[in-house]
Amino acid sequence: MKDTKLAVLIDGDNIPAKYIKEMMEEITKYGTPTIKRIYGDWTKPYLAKWKNILLENAINPIQQYSYTTGKNATDSAMIIDAMDILYSEKVNGFCLVSSDSDFTKLAMRLREAGVVVYGIGEKKTPDPFIVACDKFIYLEILKKDTEKKDGKEKSDKSNLDKITPKTIRLLRNSVDDAASEDGWAFLGDVGSLILKKQPNFDSRNFGFSKLTPLFNSLKQFEIDEREHTSGKFKLIYVRNK
């Protein structure tokens, strides 16, 4: 949704600065980042890499001193800020950038309030935080996606080998659930349903930039392109074979 106003809250303690460019580009696909904040103890040397790129990306650094060891003060500050922003009603979506399961309850609470929650983190992110979000995006995939952009879709065997029987089951069941009586399902509806079942599902995890080429590469499905009534674009439908 392009008209979604997003609050982007970054846990500086466990997100590497090297992902910033790809991350901010990805976020703009889901809405307009109107609030951008990063949390951490800026007196610590490990956050030095972040300092150089904050101004370039208009991200506001929030200082949070580590008063005690073993307790993550950054998490607490980020959670309190998120609730303040929620009640201000300035945004209708949140982007929580962290690989930390401590934000699981926050994501659940924000969704209960009726706002959309996108999670972004590394592949080490625990499942509870992933499933608490509407959609979860892996940072490693964004980096790879940028590095291999050569204008061509690769559907080689190594990509298909990543697709497990469990993934095929998820796809087949989602097509069935979204299909009309003739068995055909609009691909947009299938994609939405898959995300509800598995928020970290992303065709890029399997080497495909979009859902259409992913389905096209699998022998278990057939694709049908139909002309929209306006004649300006095509609608993609999928059916289980």
Query: What integer is the mean pLDDT of 191-215?
Result: 92
Q: What is the pLDDT of residues 190-201, one digit of tens each?
A: 999 999 999 999
Cα–Cα distance between 60 and 189 in angstroms, integer? Answer: 37
**The pLDDT value given to residue 163:** 86
Q: What is the pLDDT of residues 172-187, one digit of tens each?
A: 999 999 999 999 999 9
Does CATH place domain 5-147 in 3.40.50.150? no
70 confidence band (pLDDT: 50, 70, 90): very low
Cα–Cα distance between 74 and 127 in angstroms, integer? Answer: 21
Give domain limits for the chain.
5-147, 157-240
Q: Which residues, in sequence order, are CB contacts of 229 under 8 Å at separation 6+?
A: none
Nearest C-alpha neighbor of 173 from the set 192, 194, 156, 155? 194
Strands 5-11 and 93-97: parallel
Q: What is the pLDDT of residues 108-126, one digit of tens each?
A: 999 999 999 999 999 999 9
Fold of the 157-240 domain: Nucleotidyltransferase; domain 5 (3.30.420)
Q: Which of 64-68, 90-94, 160-164 shows the lowest per-residue confidence on average (mean pLDDT)? A: 64-68
**The pLDDT value given to residue 35:** 96
Does 105 have pLDDT greater than 80?
A: yes
Answer left, alpha or beta for residue 67, where phi above 0 means left and psi between -120 and 50 means alpha.
alpha
Does 162 have pLDDT greater than 90?
A: no
**The pLDDT value given to residue 153:** 47
Q: What is the CA radius of gyration of the chain?
A: 20
Q: What is the pLDDT of residues 9-61, one digit of tens each?
A: 999 888 888 999 899 999 999 999 999 999 988 888 888 888 888 888 899 99
**The pLDDT value given to residue 42:** 85
Q: Which of 3-17, 145-159, 169-183 shows the lowest per-residue confidence on average (mean pLDDT)? A: 145-159
- Distances in Å between the Cα of 149 and the Cα atoms of 138, 165, 205 are 17, 28, 15
